[in-house]
């Protein structure tokens, strides 16, 4: 590459969940030209690479891959692995430590972990073609985010983000924030996530790149800064998932006098364990989908309307979970018993107040931690 443009590739969730004996150099041949034409490849390593068998106590699946599967990241020519996500702590501190160690041994930098043994921060600064570019990685607060002073994922906090970004902006020419969050399988940001992305940009980030939802989303250009809400999956073989699971985006940030973005739609781990570019017809369909989603998320009224519809769809599942209906209650609901008679409104009002009031919320969270 002779020009002075900087090309950064960002890819979504990378979970190398395959038997090591199946790994070969062909998995990423379909996107080899794109990878070879970039200065850095930054991905989200969605699971630890570890020998640990000690699962943490959590809800949802525990996922991990063999340490040997670092070869998949090497074949994808990954330069920076983002570890701030909801699965990196599935196998405890050993899982994180072994992941960082094997990445370092093969020349891959890791970001998004706080309180590391080696003293490294949750960010990194790389010099490319005479310009200093900072990368910092946050995630939403699930099981991988731990109490202050403990090894774990770097959870997003608006106050910490203020200090992080103010510090880094004095040391770099460009700053990119990678954010792991959103609602799984929902192809739009919730309205608060959009506000968070705007806030991060207003603090000084030059671009914000998102993933976590396992489906692609739209983007916006906010004050000349690209905000990309979800790249979908990059390499994530997992059974019984919907069609959208297999569609992802490679996001190319091109830095010259300003920052431009270009998307490369891919199919991943569908009928085999390869990542390939889509054909022209499918590319047009995906491009149209991105445009449609972007039109919604660029309009606050449309975004709020879509969010309320999604909340209405998910409402009963949340109510059944937090009110502890049990099997009998679920059966009664299926038989047509009135929802309001089973789900006492005063209990829901009380919970709503506990969650929205910061003083009550903090006390409730501390009490739950003590119980756990």
Residues 324 and 227 occupy one common structural domain: no
Q: Is residue 15 part of a domain?
A: yes
Residues 199 and 85 reside in one and the same domain? yes
Task: Based on the fold, state whether residues 132 and 152 are members of the same structural domain.
Answer: yes
Contact 11/35 with Cβ under 8 angstroms?
no
- Tell me whether residue 158 is in a domain: yes
What is the pLDDT at residue 1?
A: 44
User: Are residues 156 and 83 part of one domain?
Assistant: yes
- List Cβ neighbours of 339 (8 Å cut-off, separation of 6 or more): 316, 319, 333
Question: Is the per-residue pLDDT at 175 higher than 80?
Answer: yes
- pLDDT bin (cut points 50, 70, 90) of residue 336 is confident
Last residue of a domain, one of 299, 334, 361: 299
Q: Is the pLDDT of residue 62 over 50?
A: yes
State whether 223 and 173 are in the same domain: yes
Are 97 and 204 in the same domain? yes
Quickly count: other Cβ atoms within 10 Å of residue 179's Cβ.
29
Does residue 337 lie in a domain region?
yes
Q: Which of 251, 273, 299 is the last residue of a domain?
A: 299
* Domain containing residue 357: 303-371
Is residue 51 in a domain?
yes
Indicate the burial class of 56 (C-beta count within 10 angstroms; 0-12, 13-18, 19 or more). Answer: middle
- 58 located within any domain: yes
Check pLDDT > 70 for residue 325: no
Q: Examine the domain organization and report whether 283 and 332 are in the same domain.
A: no
Asked if 269 and 321 sit in the same domain, the reply is no
Structural contact between residues 189 and 197, judged by C-beta atoms closer than 8 angstroms: yes
Residue 100 in this model has a pLDDT that exceeds 80: yes
| Number of folded domains that form the chain | 2
Band the pLDDT of 316: cuts 50, 70, 90: confident
Judged against a pLDDT cut of 70, whether residue 188 lies above it is answered with: yes
If asked whether residues 125 and 263 sit together in one domain, one would say yes
User: How many other C-beta atoms can be found within 10 angstroms of the C-beta atom of residue 297?
Assistant: 23
In a domain, 195, yes or no: yes
Model confidence at 368, pLDDT cuts 50, 70, 90, reads confident
> pLDDT tens, 103-113?
999 999 999 99
Q: Is 327 found in the same domain as 277?
A: no
Query: Does residue 342 register a pLDDT over 70?
Result: no
Extract the tokens encoding 62.
């525990």
Average pLDDT of the residues in 152-156: 98
**287 and 348, same structural domain?**
no
| 238-276: pLDDT as tens digits | 999 999 999 999 999 999 988 999 999 999 999 889 999
The string of DSSP codes covering 185-203 is: T-SS--HHHHHHHHHHHHH
Out of 22-26, 163-167, 319-323, which region has the weakest mean confidence (pLDDT)? 319-323
Q: Would residue 74 be called left, alpha or beta, if left means φ above 0 and alpha means ψ between -120 and 50 degrees?
A: alpha
Domain of 190: which CATH number? 3.60.21.10
CB 50 within 8 A of CB 92: no
More confident residue, 346 or 28: 28
Q: Considering the domain boundaries, does residue 1 fall inside one?
A: no
pLDDT-above-70 percentage for the chain: 94
Looking at 116-125, 163-172, 335-344, which range is the least confident one?
335-344
Residue ending a domain, among 240, 273, 299, is 299
**Residue 108 belongs to some domain of the structure:** yes
pLDDT of residue 217: 98
**Average pLDDT across the chain, whole number:** 93
Q: Assess whether 244 and 328 both reside in one domain.
A: no
């Amino acid at each position: 590459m002779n020009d002075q443009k900087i090309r950064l590739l960002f890819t979504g969730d990378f979970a190398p969940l395959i038997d090591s004996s199946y790994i070969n150099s062909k998995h990423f041949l379909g996107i080899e030209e794109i990878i070879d034409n970039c200065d850095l490849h930054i991905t989200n390593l969605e699971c630890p690479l570890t020998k640990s068998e000690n699962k943490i106590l959590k809800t949802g699946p525990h996922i991990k891959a063999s340490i040997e599967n670092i070869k998949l990241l090497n074949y994808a020519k990954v330069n920076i692995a983002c570890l701030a996500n909801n699965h990196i702590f599935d196998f405890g501190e050993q899982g994180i430590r072994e992941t960082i160690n094997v990445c370092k041994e093969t020349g891959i930098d890791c970001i998004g972990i706080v309180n590391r043994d080696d003293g490294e921060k949750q960010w990194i600064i790389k010099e490319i073609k005479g310009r200093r570019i900072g990368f910092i990685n946050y995630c939403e607060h699930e099981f991988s985010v731990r109490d202050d002073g403990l090894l774990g994922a770097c959870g997003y906090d608006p106050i910490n983000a203020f200090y992080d970004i103010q510090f880094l902006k004095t040391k770099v020419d460009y700053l990119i924030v990678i954010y792991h969050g959103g609602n799984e399988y929902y192809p739009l940001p919730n309205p608060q996530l959009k506000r968070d992305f705007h806030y991060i940009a207003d603090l000084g980030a030059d671009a914000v790149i998102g993933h976590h939802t396992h489906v692609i989303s739209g983007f916006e250009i906010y004050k000349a800064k690209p905000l990309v809400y979800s790249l979908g999956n990059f390499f994530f073989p997992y059974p019984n998932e919907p069609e959208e699971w297999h569609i992802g985006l490679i996001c190319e940030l091109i830095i010259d006098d300003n920052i431009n973005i270009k998307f490369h739609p891919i199919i991943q781990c569908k009928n085999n364990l390869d990542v390939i570019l889509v054909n022209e017809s499918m590319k047009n369909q995906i491009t149209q989908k991105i445009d449609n989603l972007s039109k919604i998320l660029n309009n606050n009224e449309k975004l709020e309307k879509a969010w309320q519809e999604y909340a209405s769809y998910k409402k009963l599942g949340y109510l059944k979970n937090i009110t502890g209906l049990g099997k009998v209650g679920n059966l009664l609901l299926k038989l047509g018993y009135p929802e309001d008679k089973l789900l006492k409104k005063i209990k829901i009002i009380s919970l709503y107040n506990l969650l929205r009031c910061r003083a009550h919320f903090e006390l409730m969270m501390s009490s739950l931690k003590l119980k756990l």
